[in-house]
Structure 1
Amino acid sequence: MEKHGIITKVSGPLIVAKNMESVQVYDVVRVSNRHLIGEVLELRGDLASIQVYEETAGIGPGEPVFFTNEPLSVELGPGLISGIFDGIERPLDKIYEAYGQGIPLGVDVPKLDRNKIWEFKATVSVGDFVSAGDIIGTVEESETVLHKIMVPPNKKGKVTFIESGNFTIDQVVCKLGYLDETLELKMLQTWPVRKKRPYQAKLAPTKPMVTGQRVIDTLFPIAIGGIAAIPGPFGSGKTVVQHQLAKWADADIIVYIGCGERGNEMTDVLMEFPELKDPRTGQSLMKRTVLIANTSNMPVAAREASIYTGITIAEYYRDMGYKVAIMADSTSRWAEALREMSSRLEEMPGEEGYPAYLGSRIAEFYERAGMVECLGSDERIGAITAIGAVSPPGGDTSEPVSQATLRIVKVFWGLSASLAYKRHFPAIDWLKSYSLYDDQMSEYFNSNVDKNWSHHVQFVMSLLQEESSLQEIVRLVGLDALGATDRLKLLTAQMIREDYLHQNAFHPVDTYASLQKQFKLLSLILKFNELGNEAITDGKSYKNIENLSVRERIGRFKYVEEKDIDKETASIIEDMETEFSMLTKE
């Protein structure tokens, strides 16, 4: 690196330097003799505004700026899975091993391990013609992830050399000849984080991402390749919902971005994920997870890059044909980093001081999700499902970050402080939340679970809406003012809330419910409602209906193991019909 620029001004993480004519916007530079990592945000003549991703205390005017003439990029290759990186993909575990607890300024550690030996198995032969996205070999990255080594975008040629064997990621494993050029391929690729990775075509979502969380799968489903937001106030359970989705959702790879959250929350993730068993493989959940930790005590500027780092890694695994789920916790902290950098650049502020381009930046992130036909000749389908937590102050979703997010996402899981205070988790408010994938997903559920799925869901939603109106009447004039039919509606709605929508994330059985179990439990509650209405019509006492012992069995159904649900369902229905037949008339 040749010395070119000279610092003229330092303002926190923002540095202004002169003699910068030869750099471009988004180029990476090294600031001062400490070689701090920075990124060029703005150019005005020979002056450049640089966003520095490390602490700038002690740096002043007159110090040098070194050019790399490369954009901010991530390294992609074997070694990402189970990795713990900061916002600019520096491996935190390697830094800890080399330097201890603190991250030294200007530390230069390879993003991916250059010394680890991987067993490469070639899948093409000499003489084959390959182009962008074609798989030339595979590596067993972990017990659960087969890493596919692909031809980089915009590259093609005839294979002139390839061999299976043990290699490091920067050794040549394949050579391509095209016209008069020879291209050497390694297992390592680099990719600029702010640039989307290419694909053949974007596809419409058709299947739900089954999460095992009843309130999500039944009422507000998300599609594979969909985008969702979880806004909610402090303490309403955003992080636990994301942990549940990371563990149980129908995804091959999890990319978890701790973006500006408190250090103890990221510590929980680091402590819990290695201990959690992946329900599909029995291995540690970390064997298919990439963690990006950029906590609130780390430099603000790096927080802005962490989202792009995460989505680029997710795109890389998507290109292999995997279903990737990316969890961003939380995009509000990321937006705050944007606001701070924008104010230091002295840009015209938008609403509440956020930059005017906040909406377009959030859209850029979410639009990189989706289901796509990947590059390559084997017609692979890959998907990224993006789920972003939003932390509006006081739970007020009218603030700019929430509103900008809601304009883009298709699923809104609004968390409620009042539900959280009642210890009802997940605290997803069924009166505020919505899913725009409902129509497509209903077709899937009706075909693959039961033809009555969408009918049951519509009944539940209308009943919960009606319960809200009836509760207003009860608060004004008391429960005794309601007739038996309305009181049965309240009772059924209570069963739906307490026995169905409430789910214990820490219970070994209740933490996950298959679609079949969800449907059977819902059918039992609706069967109770149906028989109750018939009994009321027949003049039976509502008080006796309310006290039927079968209600308790329905409430315990969610703790029944999957293998026993058919037997238990038949037994409960038999008992229910017997008990209703024995009711006496008023």
Structure 2
Amino acid sequence: MLNTGKIYGINGPVIYLKGNTGFRMSEMVHVGEEKLVGEVISLDKDLTTIQVYEETSGLRPGEEVVATGNAVSVTLAPGILNNIFDGIERPLEKISETGGAFITRGVSVDSLDRTKKWKAHMTVAVGDELRGGEIIAEVPETHAIMHKCMVPPHVQGTVTAVAPDGEYTIDDTIVTLELADGTEKKLSMTQRWPIRVPRPTNHRFPASVPLVTGQRIIDTMFPIAKGGTAAIPGGFGTGKTMTQHQIAKWSDADIIIYIGCGERGNEMTQVLEEFSELIDPKTGNPLMDRTTLIANTSNMPVAAREASIYTGLTLAEYYRDMGYDVAIMADSTSRWAEALRELSGRLEEMPAEEGFPAYLASKLSAFYERAGMMHNLNGTDGSVSIIGAVSPQGGDFSEPVTQNTKRFVRCFWGLDKSLAYARHFPAIHWLTSYSEYLTDLGVWYQDNVSPKFVDYRNRLMALLNQESSLMEIVKLIGSDVLPDDQKLIIEIARVIRLGFLQQNAFHKDDTCVSMQKQFLMMDTILYLYKQSRALVTMGHPMSVLKREDIFERVIAIKYDVPNDRLELFKQYKRDIDTFYQTVLEKNA
């Protein structure tokens, strides 16, 4: 018999029940006549507190609340990819078919299609001993991804029956196990998993392989590892969402989970339209074939916004358990923190800095800690990388969400308003950003790109730092008083900024750049610096060097050298040598 209770008080999305209801912490409940979805968030002997994931207007004291007996969970089975869900894994397309463009209250639809038949190939036989996580069937979920149906964690037994290869719904029994206590366990393609509980793994690997995004300022200057964490903070209009779009489109992750948490509806529409039109460069199929969108826009109930982050994480961990590399785009964690603040206020908890709850830091750390490169229960290796956008009010990086996020991420891509207004994209500022993964990934760069890669990157950073110091002097007394060697540093830094760090998302050869091309671009820029410095040392003034067009030509490499014609870089080295000889001859 399911426990029930009566509503005593209502405060926005928070409702109270008097007396001992018998409900359990984090249990999912149905509220009122419309069966609104809620979750138990506080219990004592006299009062039960529930947060409701839907609009509560019209609810009355005295209406019944019914427990479900289970925690708030998601359904894990084929059909997750190429889909768009709300914050508690309800498919928005199905909801729109029944209730129109806006989500109606109390709408009850299955998370996944229970009537569709999937072609399954069984990978176990009668008599096999199976443990949690082991793969029992393979299902082509999309053209790009093979879905691996697994034994739920914490279940083990001996196979007593296996269905033949064929087409099955996600609820059909495909394998039967005999457990240690002699009972029978029927396994289908479906698992249920509570969103707030991390899925178990064997162990975590240290960071050693980069998540290659094709974006030069990320891959070369501030890399993120597979299984790593990164934050993209920036004020309004600095390009947080667009940077995440670029990473989602071009990174070498197998699967993308895009969580639109409290973002504007038109932004999520843009993601939907773009991703459905985009062709995946890996497979030639639509990008949506390996993407799931979780849309909890700013006009949706605030409590569901808080849950949407965990829903996305659980879906990501499920695909990680199959051995895939998953990248989560959380846009934005500030809106999620604001949902925490609103709920905390309604619960009358003691506020901390700027009204955020005192447990903001622990919630953020628990979220980012679920990232990692893991050795799974079934012997495969997979990763979950989390890239969270942060929207500090007024672009103030000293506010609590940004500061607490910095404590738990190892990669910080600080977006700069002045760069964005100057149309320099990605607007990641090289002086405020950092990556702690650089040393961990050094061996990978050495083995897969070039032994000189990290040294070249450090030399570019040193030039940019020198330029920053020199620009302070230039602002005070102008550039004319600088010696020529310092004028050269400013000129080469301009080449680095415009020719390397700035990237055009709408240019076919510049939107995504291979690691090899990134290295050759650095090599060419540093070779130009070496030859120019030699000329300056011989006494040739910068005014003479700038008369040649070599600096502009090197800036244009990003457009002029196609990604599949890297041999053209040799010609640029020859052009730099010609420039060197020309200056010598003209000023002999």
TM-score band (shorter)?
A: over 0.9
Kept after mapping to 2: 8 A contact 1:4/1:19: no
Q: Which residue of 1 aligns with 2:251?
A: 249
> What is the CA–CA distance in structure 2 between the aligned matches of 1:410 and 1:3, rounded to whole Å?
45
Q: Which residue of 1 aligns with 2:224?
A: 222
**TM-score, normalised on structure 2?**
0.98
Which of residues 256, 276, 279 is equivalent to 2:278?
276
Kept after mapping to 1: 8 A contact 2:142/2:290: yes
Q: Does 1:572 align with 2:550?
A: no
Shift of 1:550: 2.5
Kept after mapping to 1: 8 A contact 2:3/2:23: no
Shift of 1:547: 2.3
Kept after mapping to 1: 8 A contact 2:2/2:69: no
- What stretches of structure 1 move > 3 A for 4+ residues in a row? none
The 5-angstrom pairing of residues 305-316 of structure 1 reads 305-316=307-318
> What is the CA–CA distance in structure 1 between the aligned matches of 2:506 and 2:20, rounded to whole Å?
55
> What is the CA–CA distance in structure 2 between the aligned matches of 1:434 and 1:292, rounded to whole Å?
29
> What is the CA–CA distance in structure 2 between the aligned matches of 1:81 and 1:135, rounded to whole Å?
19
Q: Which residue of 2 aligns with 1:494?
A: 494
Alpha-carbon deviations, 1:287-343, whole Å to 9, x = none?
Answer: 000100000000001000000000000000000000000010000000000001111
Q: Does 1:29 align with 2:10?
A: no
> What is the CA–CA distance in structure 1 between the aligned matches of 2:178 and 2:63, rounded to whole Å?
46
Q: Which residue of 2 aligns with 1:481?
A: 481
Q: Which residue of 1 aligns with 2:86?
A: 86
Q: Does 1:561 align with 2:562?
A: yes
> What is the CA–CA distance in structure 2 between the aligned matches of 1:486 and 1:443, rounded to whole Å?
34
Unaligned runs of 5+ in 2: none
Shift of 1:508: 1.3
> What is the CA–CA distance in structure 2 between the aligned matches of 1:443 and 1:481, rounded to whole Å?
43
> What is the CA–CA distance in structure 2 between the aligned matches of 1:496 and 1:264, rounded to whole Å?
35
> What is the CA–CA distance in structure 2 between the aligned matches of 1:6 and 1:439, rounded to whole Å?
58
Kept after mapping to 2: 8 A contact 1:233/1:395: yes
Give 1:189's aligned amino acid: Q
Kept after mapping to 1: 8 A contact 2:7/2:64: yes
The 5-angstrom pairing of residues 386-535 of structure 1 reads 386-535=386-535
Count of residue correspondences: 583
Shift of 1:18: 2.2
Q: Which residue of 1 aligns with 2:191?
A: 189
Shift of 1:3: 6.7
> What is the CA–CA distance in structure 1 between the aligned matches of 2:446 and 2:490, rounded to whole Å?
27
Shift of 1:21: 2.8
Q: Which residue of 2 aligns with 1:54?
A: 54
> Once structures 1 and 2 are overlaid, which stretch shifts more, 3-12 or 485-494?
3-12
> What is the CA–CA distance in structure 1 between the aligned matches of 2:304 and 2:92, rounded to whole Å?
14
Shift of 1:19: 4.1
The 5-angstrom pairing of residues 284-303 of structure 1 reads 284-303=286-305
SS at match of 2:441: helix
> What is the CA–CA distance in structure 2 between the aligned matches of 1:507 and 1:340, rounded to whole Å?
42
Q: Which residue of 2 aligns with 1:549?
A: 549
> What is the CA–CA distance in structure 2 between the aligned matches of 1:529 and 1:3, rounded to whole Å?
75
SS at match of 2:260: strand
SS at match of 1:121: strand
Unaligned runs of 5+ in 1: none
Kept after mapping to 1: 8 A contact 2:4/2:21: no
> What is the CA–CA distance in structure 2 between the aligned matches of 1:257 and 1:229, rounded to whole Å?
14
Kept after mapping to 2: 8 A contact 1:4/1:20: no
SS at match of 1:480: coil
Shift of 1:443: 2.4
Percent of matched pairs sharing the same residue: 52
> Once structures 1 and 2 are overlaid, which stretch shifts more, 163-172 or 439-448?
439-448
Kept after mapping to 2: 8 A contact 1:539/1:585: no
Shift of 1:160: 0.9
> What is the CA–CA distance in structure 2 between the aligned matches of 1:506 and 1:38, rounded to whole Å?
44
Q: Which residue of 1 aligns with 2:202?
A: 200
SS at match of 2:429: coil
Q: Which residue of 2 aligns with 1:342?
A: 344
Kept after mapping to 2: 8 A contact 1:370/1:385: yes
SS at match of 1:479: coil
Shift of 1:2: 4.9
Kept after mapping to 2: 8 A contact 1:75/1:188: yes
Q: Which residue of 1 aligns with 2:12?
A: 12
Q: Which residue of 1 aligns with 2:267?
A: 265
Q: Which residue of 2 aligns with 1:118?
A: 118
Alpha-carbon deviations, 1:411-446, whole Å to 9, x = none?
Answer: 000000010010000000100000001111122212
**TM-score, normalised on structure 1?**
0.98
Q: CA-atom RMSD, angstroms?
A: 1.1
Give 2:21's aligned amino acid: E
Shift of 1:585: 3.0
The 5-angstrom pairing of residues 153-172 of structure 1 reads 153-163=153-163, 164-172=165-173
Shift of 1:448: 1.5
> What is the CA–CA distance in structure 2 between the aligned matches of 1:449 and 1:548, rounded to whole Å?
32
Q: Which residue of 2 aligns with 1:236?
A: 238
Alignment CA distance shift 1:153-1:515 (3 Å): same
Give 1:246's aligned amino acid: A
Q: Which residue of 2 aligns with 1:178?
A: 179
> What is the CA–CA distance in structure 2 between the aligned matches of 1:2 and 1:44, rounded to whole Å?
19
> What is the CA–CA distance in structure 2 between the aligned matches of 1:190 and 1:103, rounded to whole Å?
24
SS at match of 2:408: coil
